[in-house]
Amino acid sequence: MIKDTIVDGFQNAPHRSLYHALGMTDEEMSRPLIGVVCSYNEIVPGHTNLDKIAQAVKLGVAMAGGTPIMFPAITVCDGIAMGHTGMKYSLVTRDLIADSTEAMVRAHGFDGLVMIPNCDKNVPGLLMAAARLNIPTVFVSGGPMLAGRVNGKKRSLSSMFEAVGAYTAGKINEEQLTEFERKVCPTCGSCSGMYTANSMNCLTEVLGMGLKGNGTIPAVYSARIELAKHAGMQVMELVKKNIRPRDIMTAAAIKNAITADMALGCSTNSMLHLPAIANECGVPFDLDEVNEISEKTPNLCHLAPAGPTYMEDLNEAGGVHAVLKELEALNLLDTSVLTCTGKTMKENLEGVVNLDEEVIRKPENAFGKTGGIAVLKGNLAPDGCVVKRAAVAPEMLVHEGPAKVFESEEECIAAIYGGKIVKGDVVVIRYEGPAGGPGMREMLSPTSAIAGMGLDKDVALITDGRFSGATRGASIGHVSPEAVSGGIIAYVKDGDIISIDIPNYSIKLNVSDEEIEKRKAEMPIKKKEVSGYLKRYAAQVSSADKGAIINK
């Protein structure tokens, strides 16, 4: 065991003295040391219950003969950080989380890990760390929030942001806005739709790193505590069998995750995180393969914001495994892959049943014949850009219109609320990419304002930044190369006609090559003055099509 190198023998007596300082007994030191990486804090709603999850995990580890030792990981609440400079510090934490977890584990010699994340960058950051460290690891998340209810209808955080747009447009009054404010987020947990946090938590099951139910059991259910205890017990089995993350997160598992992503209708942010996780696993990730998988994978789920169902509904329908069961029947998965149960995916799917064919559609009744995400390419994004196709109104799948160009999210929001965006427009927000932002801000405020004002079926948005999983409409992000790297998006002007064809994976700026070259000489690239961590991040981060990874 790894811990033997720092615990056993006379030469490690100083180390043992420090363990005694913790109140640790000789018996505890003789057992496998299991790191419990807990992201508990008091500012993120998805993390305020993680102390209880951690205690349950520790009980599970101890019951199975291990010694649990907890240490923290950070996270940012994207909802609270939204719409201001704080959002620059969201995506960048993914690498801080991976790096700091690596440092803690390597320094202290753990034999196994239980990761306890829940929110947007926290889940992929810890998956990256797990792959990098490659010691036996199980994930157990904090679970999704229950949906709120306003006027008898289920609601979530995206409803709240859209309510702001509706209030601005005079469609609801202040009293109605306040009702949304107080009711849409009724419990702790990750926000209740298929947003980024829940997308990634669901994909822990598909990747084989989380037990059945990890993505969907609501945060406030007692079953979540039971799951945490089982995760603590299961990591001990992985330690005994020496089953490691890179044994589980193989190229086949990554491909399974893309497939399930398409069926579930996950957040576009998964197209940043899966490449980054694959990179840590040493697995190539080809963005072009996403469309190939999408072409043969039906979209089986329409959870909020794409539809009226929520994570609690998916859980009652059988959860992620019920979706995998439908995909298995279509021969779209490699079910021979190993999982953290110690069994193959095929074995895990035995006896699984789809309990609600409205929440998880049968393939013959799918919401769409193709997957929930599409990668578009063209002169405006030669290296690709991403759209959540499942959340786009049918009439916006093909769209052509004049550009309205903004150099930042703030400029765009002011224009939207000022009534300067009209039907047919293609809103372009640039200099918000990984390096140009820096930090690639998630922009739910402009997309939800447009939706709340009733323009989501008439207006498209394009950015080198990214959009929230709570975004709906023709919102196209991750434009690569980004503006600060000299991407064509830097040279778009107001009034330029942009053509979008999502079914044919195409995006085009209808300006001649000669005109673009002329503009390159006339329009200098703009770089923002930043300091501290953001300055270091901007200098090292890759483009979005590579997963916004830190270049080594």
CA separation for the pair 484, 494 (Å, rounded): 19
Q: Which residues contact 321 (CB under 8 A, 6 or more apart)?
A: 205, 212, 348, 349, 352
Question: Which residue, among 385, 357, 353, has the nearest Cα to 300 in the 3D structure?
Answer: 357
Q: Would strands 67-72 and 33-38 be described as parallel, antiparallel, or unpaired?
A: parallel
Q: Nearest 5 degrees, angle CA 430-CA 431-CA 433? A: 100
Q: Nearest 5 degrees, angle CA 36-CA 109-CA 65? A: 55
3-state secondary structure of 377: strand
Cα 450 vs. chain centroid, distance in angstroms? 23
**Of 468, 475, 542, 543, which residue is the catalytic one?**
468
Q: Which uninterrupted H or E stretch holds 499?
A: strand 497-501
3-state secondary structure of 144: strand
- Classify residue 346 as exposed, middle or buried by CB count within 10 Å of its CB (0-12, 13-18, 19+): middle
Helices then strands, each counted (H, E), the chain = 22, 14
Provide the token pair at 195.
């947003």
End-to-end CA distance of the chain: 30
User: CA dihedral defined by 501, 506, 509, 512, rounded to 10 degrees?
Assistant: -120
Say whether 156 is catalytic. Answer: no
Q: What is the phi/psi pair of residue 359, to 5°? A: -80, -45
Q: Do the Cβ atoms of 548 and 276 come closer than 8 Å?
A: yes
Q: Compute the residue count for the chain.
A: 552
Residues acting as catalytic residues: 468
